[in-house]
A and B are shown apart, each in its own frame.
Chain A
């Protein structure tokens, strides 16, 4: 694959600066986007603002005016009609210099909207949780295509309360170490990514999470073949920090099962 160079200095917009919220209960949702913080990226007031929604082959684009004069389309024009029945929609926010053949000045990609049932605290989660039909699998991890996106923890749609499940002691003890190991392995061994400096890149955010867990604050190794020890250290410290075995035993002793 050819490496992509950012010759024109396109700025990366942090996802938390452009929060997006899904609204509604029907099969067709609408959305709200708060783009007021765009101005701090020092882009021209005349630059155009677009919000794009996408999922698989489906795509919709919404014109939000300009940086200097943000113009939110009316509610009826913010209906996500192409994504009927889905809450797995992702968003991009683009700042475009319309005067230079549509040169891209700044962008935030892979934005996870807050779903109607999510709280403010859930929004910036490193690992958003979504429901999906997974057949007989209880959970799975979906890795993103874009580095600005985030991995998602998929929970089988047949599970009634996905939030309660992922926070239950049984799931915490049995699944979370595997999840952490799988994500760090994807980053360091499969994607061979060890850079920590890009605030918008999910690889960096997860590596920082791992580094900050370690008492030594040791950076991840640069070589994939050295990754295993670092990953195992992070997983061990994670289990110790959250006392996974102890909580698991408490539940087991109280109920006789790993609820």
Chain B
């Protein structure tokens, strides 16, 4: 258990330095001192406890963080990049796990330090699932297609759907994608659904078709069922 804090500018710079150092020396130890050092982190206006734990999935992490950041007095903290940087470092072992040889691979800084670009928030490994969960908090199961999977990975479904504001804000679009491509019995996306060849009925064809629907229909007034019913026959194998 620890008190949630935020990294200040110096702390964020230290974290960027650590991520850069990992590129060169993948065995660099995590600088956990910056989480509590007064020169690199700041106290929040409200006392919030966070558990030192493993989540196992984007959904579990998002639900846990939503519980904390929706506490009384915590309003607005989820917009603070310093809070997300602190959380990323606190949970770094799960966000950037060690490989068998003891080294880590960073991939991109935006996964740990939230991008200032409004459309790239989804790349942050904690803020991304958190914001999706928050948008679907009344029934998060409808967004399983973008909330499943391990915390250290950004799936094709997240990259294709959450990167488009028009899609991710439209609950019917995300719910329809979950209905089409999420396999409830395995708890994973259906095999082949993320095919990169734009094969009939696959995720990328879904994105193409929704893009074509958008200038014509008010998709926000439709239910997921109405949206699926509007799709061409190529989607029937996934709809069943």
Q: Chain A contacts of B3 at CB under 8 A? A: none
> Cα distance A103–B215 when bound, in Å?
9
Q: Which residue of A lies closest to B76 (CB)?
A: A85
Q: Is residue A94 contacting chain B, with contact meaning CB distance below 8 A?
A: yes
Shortest C-beta distance, A142 to chain B (Å), equals 6
> Interface readout for B185-228 with A: 1 if CB under 8 Å, 0 if not?
00000000000000000000000100110111111111000000
Q: A189 vs B214: C-alpha distance in the bound complex, in angstroms?
A: 27
Which residues on A sit within 8 Å (CB–CB) of B164? 145
Given known A-B contacts A10-B215, A102-B218, A135-B9, A57 and B79 have beta carbons under 8 A apart: no
Q: Is A200 an interface residue (CB 8 A)?
A: no
Known: A58-B169, A59-B135. Contact between A84 and B76, CB under 8 A?
yes
Residue in B75, B132, B211, B217 whose beta carbon sits within 8 Å of that of A57 in the complex: B132
A145 and B165 contacting across the interface, CB-CB below 8 Å: yes
When distances are taken between beta carbons in the complex, the residues of chain B under 8 Å from A56 are 118-119, 121, 131, 165, 168
Is there an interface contact between B170 and A59, defined as CB atoms closer than 8 Å? yes
Contacts of B211 in A (CB 8 A): 1-2, 4
Q: Are B12 and A135 in contact (CB under 8 A)?
A: yes
Type the 1/0 row for B120-153, where 1 means its CB is closer than 8 Å to any CB of A: 0110000000011011000000000000000000
| Contact B169–A57 (Cβ < 8 Å) | yes
Establish whether residues B169 and A54, one from each chain, have CB atoms under 8 Å apart when the complex forms.
yes
Q: Is the CB of A57 within 8 A of B13?
A: no
Q: Give Cα distance in the complex from A154 to B165, angstroms.
A: 19
How many Å from the CB of B190 to the closest CB on chain A? 23
Does A124 sit within 8 A of B, measured CB to CB?
no
Q: Report the count of interface residues on B (CB-CB < 8 A).
A: 39
Q: How large is the interface on A (under 10, 10 to 19, 20 to 34, 35 or more residues)?
A: 35 or more
Assembled-state Cα–Cα distance A59/B220 (Å)? 10
In whole angstroms, how far apart are the Cα atoms of A211 and B119 in the complex? 30
- Asked if B116 contacts A103 (CB within 8 A), the reply is no
> In the complex, A137→B13 CA distance in Å?
12
- Determine if A2 and B116 form an interchain contact, defined as CB atoms under 8 angstroms apart: no
Chain A residue with Cβ nearest B117: A142
Contact assessment for A27 and B76 in the assembled complex, using a CB-CB cutoff below 8 Å = yes
> Which among A50, A134, A142, A154 is the interface contact of B218 at CB below 8 angstroms?
A50
Question: Smallest CB–CB gap between B52 and chain A, Å?
Answer: 26
- Residues of B contacting A103 with CB < 8 Å? 216-218
A59-B118 in contact given A2-B211, A104-B218 (Cβ < 8 Å): no
Chain A residues with CB below 8 A from B117, complex form:
142
Q: Interface 1/0s, chain A 39-55, versus B by CB < 8 A? A: 00000000000101011
Separation of A241 and B165 alpha carbons in the complex (Å): 38
Q: Is the Cβ of B169 less than 8 Å from the Cβ of A59?
A: yes
B21 at interface, CB cutoff 8 A: no
B215 touches A135 (CB 8 A): no
Q: Chain A residues with Cβ under 8 A from B165's Cβ?
A: 54, 56, 145
Q: How far is the CA of A134 from the CA of B221 in the complex (A)?
A: 36
Set of chain B residues within 8 Å of A133, measured between Cβ atoms: 79-82, 116
On chain B, the residues within 8 Å of A55 by CB distance are: 118
Cα distance, A132 to B9, chains bound together (Å): 14
A237 at the interface (CB under 8 A from B): no
B169 touches A7 (CB 8 A): no
The 9 closest A-B pairs by CB, nearest first: A85-B76, A59-B169, A102-B218, A57-B135, A96-B218, A57-B131, A102-B221, A57-B168, A6-B215
Known: A59-B171, A135-B9. 8 other contacts (CB 8 A): A1-B211, A56-B165, A57-B134, A57-B135, A85-B75, A133-B80, A134-B116, A145-B165
Q: List 18 A-B contacts (CB under 8 A).
A: A4-B211, A7-B216, A56-B131, A57-B134, A57-B135, A58-B131, A58-B135, A61-B220, A96-B221, A102-B221, A102-B222, A103-B216, A104-B216, A133-B80, A133-B82, A135-B13, A135-B81, A135-B116
